[in-house]
Amino acid sequence: MHFDVFNGDADGILALVQLRLAEPKESTLVTGVKRDISLLAKLDVAQVTSVTALDISMEKNADGVAKLLAANKPVFYVDHHRAGDIPDNPNLQAIIDLDANTCTSLLVNEHLNHAHYLWAIAAAFGDNMNNAAVELAKQHSVSEQDQAFLQALGIYVNYNGYGRTVEDLHVAPAKLFKVLLQHTNPLDLRADTNSVFYQLEAAYQQDMSNAAQALCHHDNHIAKVIELPDQAWARRVSGVLGNDLANQSPDKAHAVLTQNGDDTFTVSLRAPLSNRQGADNICTQFATGGGRAAAAGINQLPQAQLPKFIDTLVAYYA
């Protein structure tokens, strides 16, 4: 069987939408919530004929890649997160670019010669790469009205990926992929008032209205750190809230902490938009941390380490 393995956020889902619109293929889908990234470990290599891996760190999946290649299984890998050592193997086709201004969907868009660029624009907006999204839109003369819709779509699809488990999400990522794949043109979702776009829009607005109750731990000209409670709505907004705050104050770093209910926090960190680097370097100093230069996270930060995290964050960007 062919396996499509992809992150459950906008970038991972919409990268696969582009690929399967351009190259239809029967496959088994392997995905999950955004932070569920060690996805290749879920594969039974004996069942695999080939694998496409999208928007999951190769560094976090190094063992899975090694096992697939050792079994002579072809792997097509596209990503923009920390990669570690990329194997030199004829069965591995890797498109890896760690530039802070690109994402997996933009890399897939280039690979497909812009065959489904509207989906790539939506994904870039969803990954808060607004400048790259606008630049691609201008290349293809996409109107400002259409850009606004694609931006909203990307944000809502990205928002849907955040949660502790798939049960926290409004639509399971594999199901959302199948729904979106039915539309060659994402703008078709605007005309259908029953589309998943409007379902996610209503949910997003409700959840974001709750975010006003966030507790602020630190706020100065360098960084802002806020805390959300151990509730499903809070887990869902943790990523998009960080993006929203970053857009409001582009010269500051922003960290959104969400209580896990076990004296730890899930951390969602955004580097300053004016200095899109360092988020991964900060988060990887803590166990369960990872990500990319512009945006990273920690799955389980002990509450006792919160002062150290804040000091590390402020010192890095000072």
Provide the pLDDT for residue 288: 94
How confident is the model over 239-278, as pLDDT tens digits? Answer: 899 999 999 999 999 999 999 999 999 999 999 999 999 9
Cβ contact 223:313 at 8 Å: yes
- Is the residue at 27 inside a domain? yes
> Is the domain of 219 the same as that of 190?
no
What is the rounded CA–CA span in Å between residue 168 and residue 163?
A: 5
Domain boundary among 153, 180, 201: 201
Contacts of 107 (CB under 8 A, 6+ apart): 15, 78, 79, 80, 95, 97
- Is the residue at 143 inside a domain? yes
- Is the residue at 206 inside a domain? no
> Is the domain of 221 the same as that of 78?
no
Contacts of 85 (CB under 8 A, 6+ apart): 62
> Is the domain of 195 the same as that of 218?
no
Cβ contact 128:10 at 8 Å: no
> Is the domain of 143 the same as that of 251?
no
CATH number at residue 273: 3.10.310.30
- Is the residue at 280 inside a domain? yes
> Is the domain of 18 the same as that of 148?
yes
Percent of the residues in the chain that have a pLDDT greater than 90, as a whole number:
97
- Number of C-beta neighbours around residue 45 at 10 A: 13
Question: Considering only CA atoms, which of 82, 242, 238, 231 is closest in space to residue 161?
Answer: 238
> Is the domain of 246 the same as that of 182?
no
Collapsing DSSP to helix, strand or coil, 83 comes out as coil
Bridge partners (DSSP) of residue 81 are: none
> Is the domain of 183 the same as that of 298?
no
- Is the residue at 207 inside a domain? no
> Is the domain of 168 the same as that of 313?
no
Total domains in the fold of the chain: 2
What is the rounded CA–CA span in Å between residue 119 and residue 154?
A: 9
CATH number at residue 70: 3.90.1640.30
Collapsing DSSP to helix, strand or coil, 3 comes out as strand
Domain boundary among 201, 225, 259: 201
- Is the residue at 208 inside a domain? no
- Is the residue at 209 inside a domain? no
> Is the domain of 41 the same as that of 147?
yes
> Is the domain of 121 the same as that of 251?
no
How confident is the model over 110-164, as pLDDT tens digits? Answer: 999 999 999 999 999 999 999 999 999 999 999 999 999 999 999 999 999 999 9
Residue 98 CA neighbour count, 13 Å, CB half = 16
Q: Decide if pLDDT at 220 tops 90.
A: yes
- Number of C-beta neighbours around residue 233 at 10 A: 18
Place of tokens 């670019």: 97
Local confidence band at 213 (pLDDT 50, 70, 90 cut-offs): confident
Look up the pTM and report it. 0.91
How confident is the model over 39-71, as pLDDT tens digits? Answer: 999 999 999 999 999 999 999 999 999 999 999
> Is the domain of 30 the same as that of 126?
yes
Mean pLDDT of the chain: 96
Place of tokens 């691609």: 136
The residue range of the domain holding 278 is 214-317
- Is the residue at 33 inside a domain? yes
Bridge partners (DSSP) of residue 219 are: 224
Domain boundary among 148, 167, 201: 201
Collapsing DSSP to helix, strand or coil, 307 comes out as helix
> Is the domain of 12 the same as that of 155?
yes
